[in-house]
Amino acid sequence: MKPPRVAGDEGFTLVELLMAVVLLGVGAAAVMYGFLNSIGSSDRARQQAQTSVVITAAAEAVVDPNRNPFVTCATAYDPTVGVALPAGWSVGNFTLQVRYWNPRFTSPADPSSRVEFQDTCPWQGIAESAVPSAAKLQEITLTATHPNGRASRTLIVLKRGA
């Protein structure tokens, strides 16, 4: 025989239980979304930090005369010489543009005669020894792209010849 019911001991209905489960599910989904978003943000930050470290090391390799000797009309330098690259990185992750200093006379009255870096080497075909030392300056734009393509970084450095 069943014991008699006590007042206030009715229990929960099926609808109330379903509502509780739905609310707990929504809360759990929000927490999971937050965790996944946090993991994704941390991965992006790691890739950006790694790209910054790699491009700094590559820029140092480019301007180092022992690893990349100065060439007056060079079109490229190897940014990976002497650089310990992380797994997945290679020379293909870098792009490099060399611009050449042209120390020609400038006139303040003539804006078209500015001294500037230019895309073509003004000393092409001239012997290295005949190039004035003031002209041995290059602007090198180096871009590194993370192997997965989600992070990239660009640095501009100057390389001076002897």
Show the low-confidence residues of the chain (pLDDT under 70): 5-9, 104-115
95 falls within a domain: yes
How much is the pLDDT for 82? 93
CB-based burial label for 89 (10 Å; 0-12, 13-18, 19+):
buried
How many domains, the chain? 1
- Does any domain span residue 61? yes
pLDDT of residue 94: 96
The boundaries of the domain holding residue 153 are 14-160
pLDDT at res. 105: 53
> Is residue 119 domain-resident?
yes
